[in-house]
Amino acid sequence: MTKLSVNINKIATLRNSRGGNVPDVVQFAVNAQRFGAQGITIHPRPDERHIRYQDARDLKPIVHTEFNIEGNPIESFIHLVLEVRPTQVTLVPDAEDAITSNAGWDTVKHKGFLTEVIREFQSKGIRTSIFVDPVLAQIEGAKSTGTDRIELYTESYALHYGVEKQQAVAPYAACAELANQLGLGVNAGHDLSLDNIAFFKQEVPGLLEVSIGHALVAESLYLGVENVIQMYLHKLKD
């Protein structure tokens, strides 16, 4: 079964919009796991406009599934990850002012930098994943860095799913197949939803984990968090 990691950034965004600690991101993570989530994902940014660095520290003791921290490996982020030591770190090349992630790494151009960062994280027992576009050359480049996994950036799939879903998923299936052959684990995330996740799971071989936040939180406003998590788990079954 493909694991569901719930990204709780949007819960932090709501908290920060009002001040105080409502909603409580730690309690939300506790509940998400209780409802069946197999991981918790956070993506702290330097301006801490949603998840704060302290949230990562507060979440560490209560995440008993998989703890995934995403982000651009600037110096402060590297220090945070080495301090918290999550299950997995996902390297994302987002600019400091990006609203959300909008591109994968050029794993060929940045091979040296990625290799160095990955080696440091792995030396502390942290599994590494690189956020990549669905391009075969980038999968091969990722392999050369020594990473454990890749995370396929799925915005393009989500955008085109309603127009021609087979064409939309084809590059992802091809990249996953190559990653499997190269011994890389395959994760995916960005704009996946209850509408498009089952087909993606069906067509992408060896999919280990999906990270879903925005859609899951939005869907939960209508259907309830526990119900939505169960719906995702059902769609991700083999």
| Residues taking part in catalysis | 43, 70, 190
Angle at 80 between CA 214 and CA 37, to 5 degrees: 35
Residue 44's H or E segment, with its range, is: none
Note whether 70 and 43 are within 8 A (CB).
yes
Torsion of CA 87, 47, 19, 85, to 10 degrees: 20
- CA distance linking residue 19 with residue 24, whole number of Å: 11
- CA–centroid distance for 235 within its chain: 18
- CA distance linking residue 3 with residue 56, whole number of Å: 21
- Backbone Cα Rg of the chain: 17
- CA distance linking residue 54 with residue 41, whole number of Å: 15
